Chains A and B, each alone.
Chain A
């Protein structure tokens, strides 16, 4: 089958899962969101104390396990890592701050656009600018350290952690927090969420879904092949929202969103920049972790730490807007990201 057609189909399947997740109980315009759901898991594990965003989201478990199973069956699962570990952790930490100031990862940004949220269109402009900035660093010689083959068991750690999370979710011991109100209280039944996650993980692994990668390929190579996946997903979710009467073309009264244009722009600009430096958006990192990429597993830990920090220190935005602490954190994030990018430029002298 033609690659472009495959990608359109992959995006359509992911879009159908996203819209069905909303039908079964997930928040509107948040069928699946890597950043929000990792943040919910951080809350569920008591790493932050905002109960309204605390729940062990089965979609995350499903995405990692789906990518793991698909890569294992397809013989593309192999253990590698050890590339600039602490740098990746820091970049992931900052990327999560950007996501939570915007209120969503790039995946949710496309879902918000499909729901008519014009704030997300501003976010998309920022995201593209961030990716463009990242490609400038790539052309100037940016790269993190080379990864290398690692012991096979290491590639199974993250999938096993997902099984443990699933057990905790099902057993629901008292020390695991489950929201009784707010966004995290809105969720599909566990088995539906898990199946949805497994499908998204498997399809994303096969197709190479990345919210940032497709745009980066247009900028660097004028290659439109991979951007077809998020575009197709957005179109399918848009049609689904129309059919479900959930489409609302406006800047205002959007679910779990704020209208602060400057910070919607800047936060997603930061996310786009870091997605290029890390070699993938949060969703792609989840998938690569399932494939045995231990560097991506470190990124996920950085995202969870960033989420916990953001909520413990009021950095995350709310429907009312962005607090001063959130604005300071985004600016600090840019400074750190630029410093890391500059410190990892490969020049002729280093060859």
Chain B
């Protein structure tokens, strides 16, 4: 099972993507951004997935709401997507 962290510009953006994932029956939750990723007091979305990662990530990217997506591996966050 992979753990992903998605960061956003605003809490509202995070809520929008959360509602998209909820409709897919994804195991997701909104939470404060881990300090290792940002010093802001912003909101991130944590979700777990073992299959179809690319589909889900593409779905999140297609909303054009997220700033970045990280995968959490061995207590480290690896950047896998950044919205420029």
Contact = CB atoms under 8 A, between A and B. Distances in A.
Interface in B30-56: 30-32, 35, 39-43
A287 B39 CA distance: 10
Nearest to A222: B31
A139 B15 contact: yes
Given A221-B31, A226-B32, A280 B9 contact: no
B39 A138 contact: no
Interface in A329-351: 346
9 contacts: A143-B11, A208-B39, A216-B41, A220-B11, A221-B43, A225-B32, A226-B32, A279-B40, A346-B12
B interface bracket (residues with beta carbon within 8 Å of A): 10 to 19
Interface string A276-301: 00011000100110010100000000
Contacts of A216: 41
Interface of A: 71, 76, 138-143, 146, 205, 207-208, 210, 212-213, 216-217, 220-221, 223, 225-226, 279-280, 284, 287-288, 291, 293, 346
A143 to B, nearest CB: 3
A288 B39 contact: yes
Contact of B10 (A141, A213, A288, A293): A141
A141 B41 contact: no
Contacts of A71: 39
Closest 6 CB pairs of A and B: A143-B10, A141-B12, A213-B41, A138-B11, A208-B35, A217-B32
B84 to A, nearest CB: 10
A216 B30 CA distance: 13
A284 B30 contact: no
Contacts of B32: 213, 217, 221, 223, 225-226
A211 to B, nearest CB: 11
B9 A146 contact: yes
Given A220-B30, A221-B30, A226-B32, A291 B39 contact: yes
B41 A279 contact: yes
Given A143-B10, A346-B10, A346-B12, A223 B31 contact: yes
Given A141-B10, A141-B12, A143-B10, 9 more contacts: A138-B10, A139-B12, A146-B9, A212-B41, A216-B41, A217-B41, A221-B32, A279-B40, A280-B41
